[in-house]
Each structure stands twice: as C-alpha cells, then as structure tokens.
Amino acid sequence: MCGRYSLTDPVEALNRLFGLGAPAVALPRFNIAPSQMAPVVRRNKDKRREVALLQWGLVPSWAKDPAIGNGMINARAETAAEKPAFRDAVRSRRCLVPSDGFYEWRTGPGGKQPYRICIDDGAPFAMAGLWEQWTAPQGKTLETFAILTTAASEQIAHIHHRMPVIVTPDEYDGWLDATHRLQPEAFAARPTAGLRAYPVSTHVNRPANDDASCLVPIDRPADRQPPRQGELF
C-alpha cells in the first residue's frame, strides 16, 4: 500500500516533471496523509495538463457517505478496472500524483519501523492515480484521488509487499489519456529500478508531524513503543 508520502518542493517538482506551475497553495509537505489535500496533475476539458488540489481518499460518485474515501486511498493495478469504486475513473479520470518519496512500515521484533523510499538521486517522480468527483445532496462537490499500487520491486519487497506505481515521463500521456491502451494492469508486477530505502524516526507515524524531521535517516531501526492515539500504527 501507500499510506504516506512527501512532496518537499512542489514548485520544482511540478515544473521538472510536467512543465507546470504550482497550485495556489504549494507548501512543502513532508508527511502527506489520507484525507488531506495534495496536488495532482490531470487533463482538463481542453485535453491539456493542469494542476489541481484534491483530497486523498477516493469517494465514488455514487457513494452515500464521503467517509468511504477513508478506505479508498489505494487502488490495486491488477484489479482497479474491475472494481465498482474505481472502474469509472479508470475509463475517464486518471491523474498523476507528484512525490519525492513515500513511506512504508516493516514489521520486526520491536514493532513496525518506518522507512522512507525514494529515487536514488532524490529526484521527484510521478505516481499513477485515479480521481473522482462526488456531489453532496446540498450540491457541494468534492474531488478526491487514490494512488495506484503494484507488487513491490525487489529492492523494497523486504519492507512491504506493495508500492505505488511509478510512471515514467514517456508514459505520462498514455496514462492521462483514458482512451489510450495503457491500462492499470500494464503496471502490475513490473520491475522498478533506482529505488533506495532508509529507516526514519517514528515521528512520521503521526499525521500532525509534517516537518523535515520525517525525512531524517536514523542509524538503525529502533524498537517501537506502543502507538499513541492518532498514529498510523
């Protein structure tokens, strides 16, 4: 799965990856968590790329309660096209989620140890996403997204068995264009080169901790204490 990620220089990342400016609110984010707002890149009505701030946790258009999004932060590449919650988005509402690292937790003798996973040179990258628009009975709209996941590459499989789908620049247009033949299952179980992982402090466990301390390597995984209220584990 992907339950947390970072985007520490949104302006640089969006320009480097897509040649686009940042949205109105583009603060550095060190610990983006579900239910929070984050930038995605999608195609507008003119078929051009645009940046939009969406809420993480996909709420299908047919949902009765937007709280369903709490359990829809990820969509499996192998089955997204078949699942009622995601199949409409697969057909017509795809996006790219800029990031410069994501977090996974490895279970060990001392509990769950967080790791940050990034590209070797620290460069930003794009994760495959799906987005939806939900309309409340009162007429207010909510736009949300989910991150596509696949089997973990061999470099990080010892930490967690799933990881976000990383989309290469030559695949951007093929993914954003829902009429293109590039389907979610094409990303399943493919190797992803150039990843590195390092242990970080359990400071990242709390969504409220959104600061540079989340990125700092620790010398070795520390034994975990029982989780406090509000922590991921």
* Backbone CA torsion sign across 192, 196, 198, 200: negative
Express each pLDDT in 215-232 by its tens digit: 999 986 554 444 444 445
Look up the pTM and report it: 0.91
Domain residue limits, the chain:
4-100+122-152+161-185
Express each pLDDT in 61-71 by its tens digit: 999 999 999 99
| Alpha helix (H) residue ranges in 19-83 | none
Rounded Cα–Cα distance for residues 20 and 153 (Å)? 29
* Backbone CA torsion sign across 88, 103, 31, 16: negative
Residue pair 75/130 in contact by the 8 Å Cβ criterion: yes
CATH 3.90.1680.10 matches 4-100+122-152+161-185: yes
Rounded Cα–Cα distance for residues 8 and 18 (Å)? 16
For the annotated catalytic residues, the residue numbers are 2, 104
